[in-house]
Amino acid sequence: MAKKDLLLNLIQSLSANEKRYFSLFSAAPGNSQNYRRLFKVLEDEKSYNSKDISKKLGPSSMNIAYEKSYLQKMLLRSLRNFYDESTDEITLHSALINIEVLFNKQQYELCYDMIKQAMQLAEKGERYQLQLSLIQWKKRCMQRLGDYNYLEKQFTKDLEDETHIISLLQNLSQYRSLQLYMYSVASKKGNIERGTDQKKLKTIISHPLMKSINSAKSFRARMMYYEILFTWHHHNYNIEKAYYYNKQALKLFEKTPGSIGNNAQGYFSMLANFFNRALALNKIPELDSTIQKIEAFSKEYSNRIPHSLMREIRSILIERKLLMFTYNKEYQKLVKLAESLTDEINNPRPGFRPAFYIVFYYFTALSCFYLKNYDKSLLYSRKIIDGFDTKVRLDFIFATQLLHFLTHFEMGHKELLPYLQKSIRRFAAAHQLLTPANNLLISFFNELTKPIGNKANAKLVIQKYYPLLLPYQKDTTQNFVIETLDLLHWMEGKLKAKDH
């Protein structure tokens, strides 16, 4: 993103309530009108063009570069006020600012009282870096108050406290580094296995800190320990173990007082991952209960967590409903849900992750395909193929290419099929996707390009490949595309169909 677009991107991200608050915030007497005029112009822009902006501002001696910088500062100040005390983290950072102001005003007793209150909140949320800052401010206050007896008596305890907090922070930082490395390697490839990536993941799982949960010294460190384990087992296709560790993490969350409020995003992530594992293991009752938990969580925390996290929760809730409808072959319900979300999905304001759009469009295209609404299926498939690179959800992008082929096959576009089949093979080779199952799929599609004019011949091809593909249905290391396409279901339909 070009630097000149960053301010516009921030403005486009604002919710209606955030814009309303900014209007009130900036309307204070004495505030410059220039940056407010600039905000009104940028608010309606879809892309930044300096000439268009100047034209819409009209004749003016305004220094646009200066006003842009000032507008950004005022927007951030407004957002800080808007979200003041919305999370414990923000509350603590605000407290540190207030403590410094009070200290500079020589209000040491009030400063110390505020430090004690903030320390309780920091300890509850395991905010170790903030605890260290608060200890330093406490010492400075005691020094200015001249309470040297306190400093002498507290010397050993404060040193022990700091040393303990530093050890907890170091432990947490190590787990966070392991978790982020695991996530970065695993997420960019989706569910596609890579030999080199497996080696990287194995170095993480072999780390001394991963030998026992007892190595994790805090709640957050223990959560990361479980997340590393279930991610590892998931990418080794040991879904039972991934499910087990995911469930352990949820139990730890739900039995630890205050943990959900202190780490709402982490709890939500655990719920979303647990849904996936329960779905893979056909644990239907747990799917409904997990969706209910997500919906209840969304309602309870809607006014207490950032807008960006609510967007994330919203996207995951939609994604899980799509999975449920697809799993139950309730394609009409899925398309109805997708169409009801058109305005929300097409909203230009940022918030949804690229991975969400890919999954959303894929399952909508798949449902349209099985409802025989092939034109719409192509429309949604093309949104993925033309609109996203392969940095995220490579597995779904590959499945989309195969779905795209099948849609043209059903529409009888025989002149396109050989080209599409070669494109699929090139894509698979370029991205190291030529597993035995995928090679078989590519061969199957290649033979489907030949008898397009003769349905009986196409049926013979399907009869030939169905028993060859069937064993891969239970092979969790290679069945992603077959399962995601519900390909065997499609083949069974073709085999049952009467020839005309």
Q: Where are the beta strands (DSSP E) in 243-387?
A: none
pLDDT over 90 (residue 464): yes
pLDDT of 207: 95
Predicted model pTM? 0.64
pLDDT of 384: 94
Cβ-Cβ contacts under 8 Å for 449 (sequence gap 6 or more):
414, 417, 418, 421
DSSP states along 465-478: HHHHHGGGGG-TTT
pLDDT of 352: 80
**446 close to 421: Cβ distance less than 8 angstroms:** yes
Q: What torsion do the CA atoms of 62, 63, 64, 69 make, to the nearest 10 degrees?
A: -120
pLDDT digit string, tens, across residues 365-420 = 999 999 999 999 999 999 999 988 888 889 999 999 999 999 999 999 988 999 99
- Look at the chain and count its residues: 500
pLDDT digit string, tens, across residues 94-131 = 999 999 999 999 999 999 999 999 999 999 889 999 99
- Measured between alpha carbons, how far is 69 from 67 in angstroms, rounded to an integer? 5
pLDDT of 480: 86
For the record, the structure tokens of 169 come out as: 């922070």
Q: What is the CB neighbour count within 10 angstroms for residue 459? A: 16
Per CATH, the number for 350-500 is: 1.25.40
Domain ranges of the chain: 3-82, 88-173, 350-500
Element (H, E) at 196: helix 195-205
Between these two residues, 162 and 268, which has the higher pLDDT value?
162
